[in-house]
Amino acid sequence: MKGLPQDASDSELFASAFGDQGADPSLLVPWEARFVEVGAKPLAPSRAMDALITLWSTDKYMKRLAPGRLLLLAEYLEFVTVESDRDVIRQDEFGNFMIVLLRGTVAVDRLQPWGEHMRLAEARPGDVLGEMSLLDGGTRFSACTTLGECEFAVLRAEAMDGMMKDQPHLAAALVALLARKLSMRLRAVGARVSDRK
């Protein structure tokens, strides 16, 4: 409500989600560390935003964000290029970022408790990866490895908090759309599991 003081925890909703899990802070793998580890290189924001707008304009859920609103996202995203065979996300780690694949292909794999290595999907341009951990502060469900040079838009938890503060309608729309995509993905996995019975 306008005029009411904002609680500090409200302004750090996403950045503090990891801490809410009660995990050791040394277990968090922030984007800044992963950026260095995978040898990411900055990408020109204007060209990357053009790619994002084109990709999301055809996505069933994300096209609900009009191009003008998508342009506002540029302030909160970091754009990078990553070489082939790099783990941008690792299974079971804590991370504070999600990525949108702009160009290339990414393997999404999970090592099952009984030792089976399972390919869950191959992400294509426009796909979102790592959003579950950004939203709930939990561990990564799967590993995401580049299969050739890839370009990404990266959204860090701190940037998401900034968006919530400065562009609340945009942040709310983005979270709602991510939740819908995630829900549909879980329903699809649930249907596959049911078919195996």
Alpha-carbon distances, residue 123 vs 43, 48, 96, 147, 158 (angstroms): 20, 18, 20, 10, 25
pLDDT at 5: 42
Q: What's the pLDDT tens digit per position in 48-107?
A: 999 999 998 888 878 888 878 888 999 999 999 999 999 999 999 988 899 999 999 999
Domain range enclosing 161: 25-186
- The CATH number linked to 133 is 2.60.120.10
Q: Is 193 contained in some domain?
A: no
Query: Would you say residue 13 lies in a domain?
Result: no
Higher pLDDT, 22 or 177: 177
Q: Global pTM?
A: 0.84
Residue 121 lies in a domain: yes
**pLDDT score recorded for residue 8:** 46
Domain count, the chain: 1
Is residue 111 assigned to a domain? yes
Q: Is 63 exposed, middle or buried (0-12, 13-18, 19+ CB in 10 A)?
A: middle
Q: Decide if 7 is inside a domain.
A: no
For residue range 107-129, list pLDDT tens digits in order: 999 988 888 889 988 999 999 99
Q: Which of 73, 108, 74, 112 is nearest to 88 (CA)?
A: 108
In a domain, residue 11? The reply is no
Q: What is the pLDDT of residue 32?
A: 94
In a domain, 58, yes or no: yes
Domain assignment present for 4: no
Q: What is the mean pLDDT of the chain?
A: 85
